[in-house]
Structure 1
Amino acid sequence: MQTVTASWLKSLEILNSVPEEQLQWLLDNSEDNIFEDGEFLMQPGEPMSGPHITVDGSMRFFMLQSGFRREFTVVGPGNVTGYLPFSRGKISKGYAQAIGRLQLRSFNTEMIPEMIKNHYELTQALVNIMTTRVRDFTALQQQNEKMMALGKLSAGLAHELNNPASAIVRDSLTLKKHLEQEPESIKAIFTMKIEPEQVTAITKSLFELLDEKNFTRLSLKQRTKREDEIIEWLDEHEVENGYDIAESFVDFNFTIDTLEAFKKHTPEGNLMHVLNWISDMLVTEKMVRDIQESARRIAELVSSVKTFTHMDRAQDKQYADIHIGIRNTLTMLGYKIRKGNINVVEDFDETLPEVKALIGELNQVWTNLIDNAIDAMEPAGKGTLTIKTRRDREFVEVFIVDDGPGVPPDIQTLIFDPFFTTKEMGKGTGMGLEVVQRIVKQHRGSIKVKSEPGHTVFSVCFLIDG
């Protein structure tokens, strides 16, 4: 075991400005502790102790988040850790573990008030250590918070992109098989004796129906009734496959009158061939539309990601519509919203002017607040998320409202503090709302919370021309 002297302490850069008699006082109120490799010095929930001076060996500091170990730092000989003068945290949030054989010189925590009262230079040196530690740890936690948020968004996007991508693959294969079968119906059409004006009338009617945008949406009961009527009509006119083709006719809002119109322009004895060809055309059209819709959905998601991250803009304040950022955030969190059976109500003041802001940073605000609201409603298995915007003179206000269990009154004043979290160990860093508050202050604004069971409101207010 290495012997620790006041001279050795003074050789450390962090303590070299402290008078030797104060360092001796520190030693007189300290004791040596030995920890073997892998042994824990500190675990979550335990009272903080120290300061501890690392004499020999090293130790690592880490937290468990979502089942994974996230290491913050490794401390070697000559460093000071543990509880320091004026530290706000009194309970450990993470783990400290010995690497190899570790020797610490541990100060009696109960003597810190006397240190503050009588040993100014020693106290100042330790406070400087604490300031540096808080700055480094906060930066690391903020980066960690961003990575956790990115992880959540990535998981959601994987689901969001997988559905339309799978639909494109599935529909394209089905379309290929369908087109391979079409020659049979085309062969029957080619052998028909039909006048050019009849062909024109049939194709014109068909494409007018395909171009129709304002379809009447049928309820399940109405759809079933329509299918039965069409099947009966097809049977009466001796059209084979009536049961199969009736479904595609109803998909495109065909009625008995529609079929009668086609019959009017079809030569006697050829109605079955014409209607089966029309059904094939409708099936092809439906699959093409499904592929187009899936491709459009993927393009929208990519556009939302680009706008959400603001990756194509300079990193300075610019004028933009905040509703775009909020809607993109809802898109990014769409899978989680649907999974939580959450109804989203958008109560937007569309007359709001564009605001001058760091749009990418504001998107972090919406992400944190909306994600927290979703988490709050998760235990109930359902909920309503209301997002409201309005103008108040030269300010814009955004309200994020959920009907979850609420924030208990005794912790409402603490939720914006660094490292404070109501989530279970490993689920939150306690930096999300602190980051939100910091960004809002950057925009010369404020954030407040009002909460009671069933109604929690986070209100964000900031200058329009910030």
Structure 2
Amino acid sequence: MKDISAKDLKSIEVFKDVPEDQLQWMVDQSEHVELPEGSFMTSPGEPLKGTHIIISGRIELYRIQNNTKLTIAELLPGTVTGILPFSRGKIGIAYGQCVEATQLMTFPKERLRELIISHYELTQALVIVMTSRVREFTELEQQNEKMMALGKLSAGLAHELNNPAAAIVRGSDSLKKHLLLQPGAFKRLISIHLSPTEIDIINEKMMALQANTNRPVLSMMKRSEKEDEILDWLDLNNVSECDDMAENLVEFGITEEDLDDLKDKINKDDFSPILLWINNSLTTERMVADIQEASKRIADLVGSVKTFTHMDRGGEKEVIDIHTGIKNTLTMLNHKLKTGNIRVVEEFDLTLPHLKAMVGELNQVWTNLIDNAIDALENQPDPELRIITQRDKEFIKVSICDNGPGIPKEVRSKVFDPFFTTKAIGKGTGLGLDVVMRIVKQHHGSVTLHTESGKTEFLVCFPING
């Protein structure tokens, strides 16, 4: 192991302006070790020993998130790391593993107060290292936080898109098979002779059925009862090929009275093929409506993604309805809400004035707060997420509240601190609420926490006039 002198430290850019006597004092007070390849300089949760200076070798600094290794930096000779003057860090937040045998000089944390009091230039040099490190590390972690959020949203979005896409494939396949059966029904229909009056009656009935959007919403038991009643009526009136007809007729709200009325106006010999044609037309209508609904769902999801990301917008503030971003965020996180069987209660004051804000940034606020609430509701009985918007004089207030276990008293004051997290290792960076606070302050607003057992509320407040 090489002996270290003040001149060796002087050759490092950080210490070039520090007097040699101060550097020699630091060398004399430090511990000098050589770490073998594969060993750890630091690990998450372990107490920090002091200020580390890498003399030779190489150390990889990384974190584990969602069972994935995320490299933060590669520490080369001349790197200064660990505890620095005035830093609040006491435990490691990342792994520092030696990629090769590394010589390390460690100035003990117990002597930092003496360093600050007696060695001004050395303290100044180390403080500059600290401020640069915090800025770079925060930027990297914020980027990681965004990528993690994007990963969660992408997974949920894939599930949300899969359902309507599969419905379109099934619906189009069923519609194709159904249309192949139409010629037979059409042949039976044209073989009968209808008067102009009968044609008008059938045409008006079909138009009324297709235009009726106020169809009954029935429970499964009630629907089954109705279908049995219609099926009995069809059997009594000798209507052929009626096995799947009852379900269709009930779906469109057709009652036995409607069938009696139609039968009284049509020649009884013609009634069965006419009803079969009506049923086939309604089946086609249902299939097209299902495909249309699934297509609309996909279009809505794509629209929500576009509005949510605002990737085609700059960082300028826009006048927006605050509810749009909240609703789009709920859409993006819908799969996670459904997986957790979480009841969402929206108490929105839709008369609120519009707010001038950076839309993409604000969506990050809603994503972090709602996602945290969802995580807090994991394995909770009767989980509920309540979102309330209201006006309080010249302010807009948004409350995001969950009925989870609450946040323990001993950590409530730390929840907005950078890198602090109550989640298990690898499940969070600890930057979510720090990002929320930073963005809200950019909008001249505030975020407050109210929590107790069985309730956690984050209250975001924005001035209307910006």
TM-score category of the 2 structures, normalised to the smaller one: over 0.9
Corresponding residue for residue 205 of structure 1 = 205
Give per-residue Cα distances to partners, 1:141-200, cap 9 Å, x unaligned: 111111111111111111111100110011000110111122111111121122233222
Following the alignment from structure 2 to structure 1, what is the Cα–Cα distance between the partners of residues 24 and 56? Answer: 19
Following the alignment from structure 1 to structure 2, what is the Cα–Cα distance between the partners of residues 156 and 221? Answer: 33
CA contact (8 A) 2:31 2:107 kept: yes
Match of 2:89, SS state, is coil
Give the alignment of 1:283-294 within 5 angstroms.
Answer: 283-294=283-294
Aligned residues: percent identity? 52
Following the alignment from structure 2 to structure 1, what is the Cα–Cα distance between the partners of residues 169 and 367? Answer: 32
Give the alignment of 1:332-343 within 5 angstroms.
Answer: 332-343=332-343
Following the alignment from structure 2 to structure 1, what is the Cα–Cα distance between the partners of residues 216 and 248? Answer: 15
Corresponding residue for residue 329 of structure 1 = 329
- The structural deviation recorded for 1:32 is 2.2
Give per-residue Cα distances to partners, 1:21-73, cap 9 Å, x unaligned: 00000110123211222222211111112311111111110111010011100
Following the alignment from structure 2 to structure 1, what is the Cα–Cα distance between the partners of residues 32 and 463? Answer: 56
Corresponding residue for residue 303 of structure 1 = 303
Q: Is the aligned partner of 1:115 residue 2:140? A: no
Corresponding residue for residue 43 of structure 1 = 43
Corresponding residue for residue 134 of structure 1 = 134
- 105-114 vs 87-96, which deviates more? 105-114
- The structural deviation recorded for 1:381 is 5.1
| Structure 2 residue runs without a partner (length 5+) | none
Following the alignment from structure 1 to structure 2, what is the Cα–Cα distance between the partners of residues 163 and 219? Answer: 23
CA contact (8 A) 1:2 1:56 kept: no
- 67-76 vs 334-343, which deviates more? 334-343
CA contact (8 A) 2:450 2:456 kept: yes
- 59-68 vs 104-113, which deviates more? 104-113
Give the alignment of 1:206-221 within 5 angstroms.
Answer: 206-221=206-221
- 422-431 vs 122-131, which deviates more? 122-131
CA contact (8 A) 1:341 1:381 kept: no
Give the alignment of 1:330-409 within 5 angstroms.
Answer: 330-380=330-380, 382-409=382-409
Following the alignment from structure 1 to structure 2, what is the Cα–Cα distance between the partners of residues 237 and 184? Answer: 21
| Structure 1 residue runs without a partner (length 5+) | none
- 71-80 vs 389-398, which deviates more? 389-398
Closer, same or farther: CA 351–159 of 1 in aligned 2, 3 Å: same
Following the alignment from structure 1 to structure 2, what is the Cα–Cα distance between the partners of residues 311 and 21? Answer: 54
Q: Is the aligned partner of 1:83 residue 2:90? A: no
**Count of aligned pairs:** 466
Following the alignment from structure 2 to structure 1, what is the Cα–Cα distance between the partners of residues 314 and 19? Answer: 50
Give the alignment of 1:18-97 within 5 angstroms.
Answer: 18-97=18-97
Corresponding residue for residue 444 of structure 2 = 444
When normalised by structure 1's length, the TM-score is 0.97
Corresponding residue for residue 189 of structure 2 = 189
CA contact (8 A) 1:304 1:331 kept: yes
- 154-163 vs 228-237, which deviates more? 228-237
Give the alignment of 1:103-252 within 5 angstroms.
Answer: 103-252=103-252
- 263-272 vs 226-235, which deviates more? 263-272
Following the alignment from structure 1 to structure 2, what is the Cα–Cα distance between the partners of residues 432 and 399? Answer: 17
- 262-271 vs 443-452, which deviates more? 262-271
CA contact (8 A) 2:343 2:383 kept: yes
Match of 2:429, SS state, is coil
Corresponding residue for residue 98 of structure 1 = 98
CA contact (8 A) 1:266 1:274 kept: no
Following the alignment from structure 2 to structure 1, what is the Cα–Cα distance between the partners of residues 382 and 9? Answer: 59
Match of 1:84, SS state, is coil
CA contact (8 A) 2:164 2:295 kept: yes
- The structural deviation recorded for 1:291 is 0.3
